[in-house]
Amino acid sequence: MRQWLKSLLLLPLALMLALGYREWAFVLLLSRSGGFPLGLEALEKARELNPASPKPLVWEGRLYLSRGLYDYAEKAFSLAVEMGGGVEALMGLGDALFARGKREEAMAAWHKALEIRPYDPALHRRIGLALFKEGRFHAAAFHLQEANDPCLLALVLLPINPPEAARLAENCHGFEGLKSILSIPDKPLRLRELGKFYTAMGEYGAAKAVLEESLALCPESAEGWAFLGHALSRLGLDPSQAFAKSLELDYTFPAGHYFMGLHFLAQGNLEGARQELLYALSLEPSNPHFQAALAEVEIRRGNYAEAEVRLKKAVELAPEEPSFRLYLGELQIGILMRTDQEALENIRKAIEASPSDPKGWELAGIAYYYAGQTALAEPYLKKALELSSDSPRALYYLGLVYYLEGQMDKARQLFRLVQEVAPASVWAHRAYWAERR
């Protein structure tokens, strides 16, 4: 009976995809549990109904993109391009390539699409953002102007045309802090502050470009070299010369040691990271970020008690900052599986400080699950999924809650969903075996 119903649903989906009613079909096949495998089957059927059409392959690529399966998406879009899929196939191929770190190939695909549709704002926006991430501000500005995106254009114009950037930023939400940077008359200092701003955004390519320009004008800045080293490290480039120059100029600059410690941590050099972070902390004992970074080192070393002490100190130093409470909750609940009053109180305070962050709700639900209080765990996990519907860990633990409550169909449905949304994750592996209990 179930197979007959499935076939009944697959046929109209396949027909819609084959005939080009793509938006409706895509919404249908993703709007229900089991949508991912059902979608793939519908697309396969659509290709059988219309083998000459590239449309099913384009939507197969989008389906893979929506699940983070970028290698499969690349293959689907590449086939669609070969079959004459046009702009949509080229745009999707560029998205998949860019997500896989193949930036030059992605740009080539987007530019081919632009030759077909030269005024497409979505294409110009993609290209502009990619150029911005590489620190190619003039080229990025041209494309973002064509995309008619004044706020992103303001972000790109900051280092090359501050007055125009200030004018555009007037109507942009979240750009208030830029006014103080733009008002700095000294160009090297303005560029350095802008590099720090881009670093805080995670735009390390843009940060590298403006920090290099700042240091070319004023090479005696320990801060500039330290932030450049951090940007290089995050980009996977060698930061050793930048860090060495920063410490040569000012060995007592705390951020220089902090960033070097983060670099060692990323490289797996835990002892080197610990030494640099301890020295940074000796120079600035009240910095909660240094404590949190040392906690990460201790977690990686398996010293959970010491990590907990460090995170509690970070919370003490910045009690209003939810990220430190969430990190402490991850250690206490996610790793140590604690359900005592202290752990629950910490995570409740994290939720109060940041109610829109799903992680706090998720951790609270997990804690109540470990405590055997499934009636309390369920609403917290549901709230976490309301805020982030594809969290594999929240889905997995809600499935366990249903399993303990005897709601086997709901539990198995969630275990299957975990395997769909994050097939390569540890949660998918656990859900696979949980489904077969």
First to last CA, the chain: 24
In this structure, of 6-15, 38-47, 220-229, 336-345, the range with the lowest mean pLDDT score is: 6-15
Is residue 270 exposed (0-12), middle (13-18) or buried (19+ Cβ within 10 Å)? Answer: middle
- Kindly give, in sequence order, each residue whose CB lies less than 8 Å from that of residue 348, ignoring residues fewer than 6 positions away: 364
| Res 171 pLDDT > 90 | no
Residue 373 lies in a domain: yes
Q: How does pLDDT run across 185-212, given as a tens digit for each residue?
A: 999 999 999 999 999 999 999 999 999 9
Same-domain check for residues 385 and 327: yes
Same-domain check for residues 368 and 381: yes
Q: How far apart are CA 371 and CA 373, in angstroms?
A: 6
- Compare 63 and 5 and report the one with higher pLDDT: 63
Confidence band, pLDDT 50/70/90 cuts, at residue 403: very high
| Res 6 pLDDT > 70 | no
Q: In which region does residue 148 sit, left (phi positive, over 0), alpha (psi from -120 to 50) or beta (all else)?
A: left
In eight-state DSSP terms, residue 33 is T
Domain stop point among 389, 410, 426: 389
Q: How far apart are CA 129 and CA 215, in angstroms?
A: 24
Residue 167 lies in a domain: no
Same-domain check for residues 377 and 395: no
Same-domain check for residues 352 and 329: yes
Whole-number pLDDT of residue 9? 47
Whole-number pLDDT of residue 52? 87
Instruction: Look over the chain and give the mean of its residue pLDDT values, rounded to a whole number.
Output: 90
In this structure, of 11-25, 328-342, 355-369, 393-407, the range with the lowest mean pLDDT score is: 11-25
Confidence band, pLDDT 50/70/90 cuts, at residue 36: low
Confidence band, pLDDT 50/70/90 cuts, at residue 27: very low
| Res 2 pLDDT > 50 | no
Residue 350 lies in a domain: yes
Same-domain check for residues 358 and 378: yes
Residue range 149-164: mean pLDDT, rounded: 91
Residue 435 lies in a domain: yes
Domain stop point among 389, 407, 423: 389
Q: What's the pTM value of the predicted model, to 2 decimals?
A: 0.83
For the record, the structure tokens of 410 come out as 């709901």
Number of domains in the chain: 2
Q: What is 208-245 written as a DSSP string?
A: HHHHHHHHHH-TT-HHHHHHHHHHHHHTTS--HHHHHH
Domain that holds residue 353: 319-389
For the record, the structure tokens of 182 come out as 């733009």
- Compare 97 and 17 and report the one with higher pLDDT: 97
| Res 29 pLDDT > 90 | no
For the record, the structure tokens of 86 come out as 């046009």
Confidence band, pLDDT 50/70/90 cuts, at residue 35: low
Same-domain check for residues 397 and 424: yes
| Res 91 pLDDT > 80 | yes
Whole-number pLDDT of residue 437? 78
Q: How does pLDDT run across 216-255, given as a tens digit for each residue?
A: 999 999 999 999 999 999 999 999 999 999 999 999 999 9
| Res 28 pLDDT > 80 | no
Q: How far apart are CA 12 and CA 349, in angstroms?
A: 49
Confidence band, pLDDT 50/70/90 cuts, at residue 56: confident
CATH code for the domain in which residue 369 is found: 1.25.40.10
Q: How far apart are CA 339 and CA 332, in angstroms?
A: 8
Residue 371 lies in a domain: yes
Q: What percent of the chain has pLDDT over 90?
A: 75
- Count the helices and strands in the chain (H runs, E runs): 27, 0
Residue whose C-alpha is closest to residue 109's, from 122, 128, 125, 90: 90
Same-domain check for residues 384 and 325: yes
For the record, the structure tokens of 48 come out as 């059988």
Same-domain check for residues 333 and 362: yes
Residue 403 lies in a domain: yes
Residue 381 lies in a domain: yes
- Compare 4 and 319 and report the one with higher pLDDT: 319
Residue 378 lies in a domain: yes
Q: How does pLDDT run across 304-314, given as a tens digit for each residue?
A: 999 999 999 99
